[in-house]
A and B are shown apart, each in its own frame.
Chain A
Amino acid sequence: MPSLNTRQRSDLMSELGGLRRFCLSLTGAAADADDLLQSTVERMLEKGMPEDAHTAKWVYRVCKNIWIDELRARQVRQRHATAVQADDEVEQSPSAETKAGGEQHLAAVNDALMRLPPEQRLALMLVAVDGKSYAEAADILQVPVGTIMSRIARARKHLLEDRVLLQQK
């Protein structure tokens, strides 16, 4: 099944928006999000998917998996360490890319999200922003529904304690 059929391609096309948002929530910077999105589309085109698979769930899963691969890279650990360091020194650390174009608001929200454990961030974004049900998110992340529920609640608790998202206009 090394290619996508017409229906799958068109399904994939209509998922790109939500997928890009998802990528942004994972990477925290627009350029990285687009690279992750591109990698995801590339892998979909290279590997294809089973006829009977649900395109949206499949592609989110592929995206999550690529991101897992990404987490392997030590560079990310270093980046994270640098970001945490910068956070301590400066009040906010939006990258130059996100700061440009008046995206300060997004940058602040992103910063708050980046302080969440990744598994909580994944679950929260799928449900709260992408509007997926707990069952769909559970399917994508391959964990039980109850786990999704508690991860989202914990994510929100962190965000409440963080206060950043409450200070926005």
Chain B
Amino acid sequence: MTISEADFERLSQLLDGELDAASRQQLEQRMALEPELASAWQELQTINATLRQAYAGAATGIPQRITAMLDSAASRGRAKDNVVPFFRRQPLWPTALAASVVLALAIALIPDDTGSPASTPGLTLAAALESLPSGDTWTALEDGGQIQAVLTFASRNGGWCREFALKQTSRTGSQRGVACRTDGQWQTEVVAQAPEQESSDVYRPAGAGDSQAVHHFIRDQAADIPLSGPQEAALINSGWR
């Protein structure tokens, strides 16, 4: 396809009825003269039709258990009284988390963008956040603990934040937290004890303090969905710019 990016965007807008009248007229006239434009337009229409057709059935067949939740909420008058079914596919949707204490950990993060390592050998938390890709690998910290970068997202105020998991020598289990980068420094925003094990046969009360705080922070502060691996890698390589 050799049509320009701008033309492609216009075709896409036309398809969505989001092109103003003048531009639309102009584009339609050009389509009559430019076979490539006309052919792209045809293909775009096909794709749109295929998409709609494929998902046409998805709007029906809502499981009864879900409509029942709203029905029973309505019949009781107050949704608050409704006993919502507990989530069965637990590991996928971690709505219920272990009850424990939010750790008031004011971890002093040492900025590392000066390039000079801290006096002790090993990675500082800041250096880890600055350089580690998100994934399943635990990396040793200078204080003997271990860190795992979990994900990276853009925050509402335009900066970058990372969720991380932490294993500290002084504590059992692991902690989860979010740190955000402000003026080249990583600042811990929230840290909480992580659920012990994501097991579906153990009942855990939903909404109990703890890592809900991390959930909520991300929910409230994330401007968008987390970065993909390649996006994150590019960001790390560019020094978070």
Would you call A24 and B8 a contact (CB within 8 A)? no
Can you pick out 22 interface pairs between chain A and chain B where the beta carbons lie within 8 Å of each other? A2-B79, A4-B73, A13-B67, A35-B87, A39-B87, A42-B84, A48-B79, A65-B222, A68-B222, A68-B226, A69-B219, A73-B92, A75-B92, A105-B54, A106-B57, A125-B55, A141-B224, A157-B8, A159-B47, A165-B47, A166-B46, A168-B53
Task: Verify if B142 is at the interface (C-beta below 8 Å from A).
Answer: no
Task: Verify if B173 is at the interface (C-beta below 8 Å from A).
Answer: no
Closest to B220 in A: A65
Cβ–Cβ < 8 Å partners of A96 in chain B: none
| Minimum Cβ distance to chain B for residue A158 (Å) | 10
Would you call B84 and A45 a contact (CB within 8 A)? yes
Cβ–Cβ < 8 Å partners of A70 in chain B: 92-93
**Count, A-B residue pairs, CB within 8 A:** 193
Alpha-carbon distance A74/B135, docked complex (angstroms)? 8
Cβ–Cβ < 8 Å partners of A37 in chain B: 62-63, 66
Would you call B54 and A106 a contact (CB within 8 A)? yes
**Known A-B contacts A45-B69, A66-B93; A71 and B226 likewise in contact (beta carbons under 8 Å):** yes
Would you call B218 and A68 a contact (CB within 8 A)? yes
Q: Which of B40, B43, B65, B153 has the most CB of A within 10 A?
A: B43
Contact digits for B72-98, partner A, Cβ 8 Å, 1 yes 0 no: 011000111010110111011111000
Would you call B225 and A38 a contact (CB within 8 A)? no
Closest to A133 in B: B18
Contact digits for A38-65, partner B, Cβ 8 Å, 1 yes 0 no: 1101110110100000000000000011
Cβ–Cβ < 8 Å partners of B134 in chain A: 77
Which residues in window 1-58 of B have CB below 8 A to A? Answer: 1, 5, 8-9, 12-13, 15-16, 18, 40, 43-44, 46-48, 50-55, 57-58
Would you call B48 and A35 a contact (CB within 8 A)? no
Contact digits for A70-83, partner B, Cβ 8 Å, 1 yes 0 no: 11111111100000
**Which of A152, A160, A168 meets B16, CB within 8 Å?**
A152
Cβ–Cβ < 8 Å partners of A39 in chain B: 87, 93, 95
Cβ–Cβ < 8 Å partners of B114 in chain A: none
Contact digits for B184-225, partner A, Cβ 8 Å, 1 yes 0 no: 000000000000001000000001000000010011001111
Alpha-carbon distance A22/B65, docked complex (angstroms)? 18
Interface size on B, residues (CB 8 A): 67
Contact digits for B149-162, partner A, Cβ 8 Å, 1 yes 0 no: 01101000000000
Cβ–Cβ < 8 Å partners of B55 in chain A: 21, 24-25, 106, 109, 125, 129
Task: Verify if B100 is at the interface (C-beta below 8 Å from A).
Answer: no
Task: Verify if B70 is at the interface (C-beta below 8 Å from A).
Answer: yes
Task: Verify if A127 is at the interface (C-beta below 8 Å from B).
Answer: yes
Task: Verify if B60 is at the interface (C-beta below 8 Å from A).
Answer: yes
Task: Verify if A97 is at the interface (C-beta below 8 Å from B).
Answer: no
**Which of B47, B66, B79, B226 meets A4, CB within 8 Å?**
B79
Would you call B84 and A71 a contact (CB within 8 A)? no
| Minimum Cβ distance to chain B for residue A14 (Å) | 10
Contact digits for A15-45, partner B, Cβ 8 Å, 1 yes 0 no: 0111011001100000111111111011101
Alpha-carbon distance A124/B55, docked complex (angstroms)? 13
Closest to A103 in B: B57
Task: Verify if B59 is at the interface (C-beta below 8 Å from A).
Answer: yes
Alpha-carbon distance A55/B8, docked complex (angstroms)? 33
Cβ–Cβ < 8 Å partners of A41 in chain B: 66, 69-70
| Minimum Cβ distance to chain A for residue B182 (Å) | 21
Alpha-carbon distance A131/B80, docked complex (angstroms)? 32
Task: Verify if B130 is at the interface (C-beta below 8 Å from A).
Answer: no
Would you call A21 and B79 a contact (CB within 8 A)? no
Would you call B52 and A166 a contact (CB within 8 A)? no
Task: Verify if B163 is at the interface (C-beta below 8 Å from A).
Answer: yes
